A and B are shown apart, each in its own frame.
Chain A
Amino acid sequence: DGGITQSPKYLFRKEGQNVTLSCEQNLNHDAMYWYRQDPGQGLRLIYYSQIVNDFQKGDIAEGYSVSREKKESFPLTVTSAQKNPTAFYLCASSSLGWNEQYFGPGTRLTVT
C-alpha cells in the first residue's frame, strides 16, 4: 500500500524538551511538507522540501527544524524554543510539478 505514515499518533512531552516527529512516504514523491493545525484553524506551513538535502522555511518555522537525508523521510524536530508547541502536526507530500498534496494521519503533540 502506498501512503504516508507519521509516528507516533500521540506524543506527550514536558516543556523544555526537544521532540522529533517522524514522517515517511512510499509514494515516490519529491516534495514533502510539514504543517501545524490549531483548533478551529486552517493549516500553517512550517517547512517544506522539494529535493533531498534541501528545504525551505514556511510561514512559521521559528522553533522548528527539519532534515531531508532520504527522499522517503522528512522528520520534524520541535525544539524548546517553540513557544506554543501543543498542536496537531501534519506531514504531506506531492509530486514535483503537481500541487496536489496528500496528507499523513498526523501526530497530536501535547506539551505541558
Chain B
Amino acid sequence: QKEVEQNSGPLSVPEGAIASLNCTYSDRGSQSFFWYRQYSGKSPELIMSIYSNGDKEDGRFTAQLNKASQYVSLLNRDSQPSDSATYLCAVSGSARQLTFGSGTQLTVLP
C-alpha cells in the first residue's frame, strides 16, 4: 500500500517565524516530490517540486529531500499571515501517478 503521511496539524506559528512541514512516504521507488498550497475552498497550487536529495530553495520556501529516510520537508523561513493554508505533500512513484498526503493546516499569527 503506497502511503504518504504528513505531520498532524494544525500548526500555528507567529509571523516571521520558521514553519516546518514534514512528509514521509512508503514507496522506495518514488522519484518526484511536490508541495502544494491549498487555501480554504480553493484548488491546490503547486509551490515546490524536488527530485534529488538535498535542499531546494525558492523564495521563502526551502524543500528538503532525503530518499534514504523516505522523508521530504518544506520550510517557510519567514512565515506571513498570507501563508495560512493547508499544505499537501504529493509523491510520484514508479507508476508516475501522484499520491497525496492528507495535508497539514498552517496558521500564521500576525
A residues contacting B by CB (< 8 A) are 35, 40-45, 48, 58, 90, 99-106
Contacts and interface: CB of A to CB of B under 8 A. Distances in A.
A25 B49 CA distance: 22
**Closest A-B pairs by Cβ, 5 of them:** A42-B100, A103-B43, A99-B92, A99-B32, A43-B100
B43 A105 contact: yes
SS class of chain A's interface: helix, strand, loop or mixed? loop
A45 B97 contact: yes
Nearest to B102: A42
Given A42-B103, A103-B44, A103-B45, 10 more contacts: A35-B100, A41-B103, A42-B101, A42-B102, A43-B88, A43-B90, A90-B43, A90-B44, A99-B92, A101-B90
13 contacts: A40-B103, A41-B103, A42-B4, A43-B88, A43-B90, A45-B98, A99-B32, A99-B49, A99-B96, A100-B46, A101-B90, A103-B43, A104-B43
The winner among B42, B43, B97, B100 for most chain A CB atoms within 10 A is: B43
Q: Which of B44, B90, B102, B103 has the most CB of A within 10 A?
A: B44
Contact of B42 (A40, A45, A105): A105
A99 B97 CA distance: 8
A101 B98 contact: yes
Interface string B35-74: 0100000111110010000000000000000000000000
B17 to A, nearest CB: 25
